[in-house]
């Protein structure tokens, strides 16, 4: 049995050697054949040079080198598309998800005969209160809006079997929310609880802007409720506008000296106008996703591969 470990990397020169060392120590304990697939996602530092050096001394190290930065989800996708394992583990190179948990995942997968073993974070060291709160409520909000149930407090750190790998590779959508897609597939999926650590070195590559974009991808990819909400809000405010007009007409008939202030009218128009822009924006995001799919451009471009 072959175990593939998929490791996306972007500007990780400070951590990639330690990541390789710890992953290798863990994989040797499994007594399984393995391949370590590092995806260099257009790094601008020495990440690729270090990976090439590691690959020269260890043929189990395979490298997919992107032509530019395409993003974390594209890097994970490339790893799944190119892995040969009967089982595959997706893990980031920053060591926040401890490689040693892979041994627990293997035990759970074998015991439960699971198709997916997903990591659930009991504790998140080194995270800001803002990140903790937003992550907590994002998954819960997504579950309320989505037709598919997503495990909460999870990331992409998980083990998947060949059934899931082959099914994933048969999907052709471009803007992927990978943890959502894997949940959507069904099969037997079980949790593995662990404590998440601080980054080994360096800084996070997921600033607020990227987090918001990622959250939006997950929301639009698995829920039509924002569109239904926009329609419902439209109906509510049209109804309120009619009621307000009736009330003002009655007041005017009862008191001919009553003057409807321009300020009130301007405020009402601004409010309804803002609501319309929000609604158009929601529709625009769905259309933008459709536009990306229609162009049918590749999700990523591989500059070269090493040890494949």
In Å, how far from its chain's centre is CA 74?
Answer: 10
Cα 235 from Cα 241, distance rounded (Å): 10
What's the pLDDT score for residue 117? 94
Series of mean pLDDT values for 10-residue runs along the chain (308 residues): 93 90 93 94 92 93 94 91 94 89 93 92 64 60 62 81 94 82 89 76 56 61 63 69 72 69 64 70 69 74 92
Cα 74 from Cα 223, distance rounded (Å): 21
- Classify residue 92 by burial, with Cβ atoms within 10 Å: 0-12, 13-18, 19+: buried
Q: Judge whether 199 and 94 are in contact, CB under 8 Å.
A: yes
108-131 in b/e form (b: 16+ CB < 10 A) is: bbeeeebbbbbbbbeebeebeeee
Half-sphere exposure of 153 (CA within 13 A, CB side): 13
Question: What pTM did the predictor assign?
Answer: 0.70
What's the pLDDT score for residue 128? 58
What's the pLDDT score for residue 114? 93
Q: Judge whether 28 and 100 are in contact, CB under 8 Å.
A: no
What's the pLDDT score for residue 164? 95
């Amino acid at each position: 049995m072959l175990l593939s470990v998929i490791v996306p990397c972007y500007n990780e020169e400070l951590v990639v050697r330690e990541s390789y060392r710890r992953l290798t120590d863990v994989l040797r304990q499994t007594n399984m054949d393995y391949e370590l697939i590092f995806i260099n996602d257009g790094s601008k530092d020495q990440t690729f040079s270090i990976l090439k050096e590691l690959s020269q001394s260890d043929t189990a190290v395979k490298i997919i080198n992107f032509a530019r930065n395409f993003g974390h989800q594209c890097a994970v996708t490339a790893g799944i598309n190119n892995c040969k394992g009967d089982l595959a583990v997706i893990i980031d190179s920053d060591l926040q998800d401890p490689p040693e948990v892979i041994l627990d995942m293997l035990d759970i997968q074998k015991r439960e005969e699971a198709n997916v073993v997903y990591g659930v974070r009991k504790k998140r060291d080194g995270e800001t209160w803002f990140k903790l709160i937003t992550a907590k409520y994002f998954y819960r909000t997504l579950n309320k809006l989505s037709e598919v149930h997503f495990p909460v407090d999870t990331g992409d750190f998980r083990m998947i079997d060949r059934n899931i790998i082959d099914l994933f590779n048969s999907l052709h959508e471009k803007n992927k929310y990978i943890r959502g897609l894997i949940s959507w597939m069904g099969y037997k999926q079980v949790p593995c609880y662990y404590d998440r650590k601080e980054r080994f070195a360096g800084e996070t590559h997921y600033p607020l802007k990227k987090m918001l974009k990622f959250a939006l991808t997950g929301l639009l990819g698995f829920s039509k409720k924002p569109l239904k909400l926009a329609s419902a809000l439209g109906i509510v405010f049209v109804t309120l506008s009619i009621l307000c007009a009736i009330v003002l007409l009655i007041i005017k008939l009862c008191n001919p000296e009553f003057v409807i202030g321009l300020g009130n009218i301007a405020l009402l128009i601004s409010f309804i106008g803002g609501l319309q822009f929000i609604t158009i924006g929601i529709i625009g995001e769905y259309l933008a996703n459709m536009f990306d799919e229609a162009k049918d451009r590749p999700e990523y471009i591989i500059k070269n591969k090493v040890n494949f």
